[in-house]
Amino acid sequence: MPDAPRDKPLPVVTDENRPFWEGCRQGKLLLQYCDQCHRHQFYPRLYCMQCGSDKVRWVEASGRGVIYSYTIIHQNKAPEFVHDTPYNVAVVQLEEGPRLMCNIVDAPLNELRVDLPVTVVFDAVSDSISLPRFRLLK
């Protein structure tokens, strides 16, 4: 018999990623943008991963993208997730370029396909954390 479900682990908020999580809590998907090479990046860093510049700032992203890859999880013995199966884990390619790992919500698992257009939605999982998830565009 599986263990009773436990609270799911939450992201650790640091000084470096705090603007991202505050944006999510406000319903905004924020990415870092380099003023030197004019590229967006994710995950948060103190410098641009393309050119090494420290001229990065936070900007609001469109929240639109496409499914780049996904998998369906049918077994997960971790007590936090054992009762959630089956579920999906996806990588979304944002219009701005970066990719985010996430879940696709409100879609039958058998309808997921690579290159389907998606848009961000936010799931308030605690008082301080809202997770970005994505929904298929219809």
| pTM score above 0.85 | yes
Please report which confidence band the pLDDT of residue 100 belongs to, taking 50, 70 and 90 as the band edges: very high
Please report which confidence band the pLDDT of residue 138 belongs to, taking 50, 70 and 90 as the band edges: confident
- Chain segment 9-23, per-residue pLDDT in tens: 999 999 999 999 999
Q: How many helices (H) and strands (E) does the chain have?
A: 1, 9
Cα 47 from chain centroid (whole Å): 21
Largest separation between any pair of C-alpha atoms in the chain: 56
pLDDT > 70? residue 1:
no
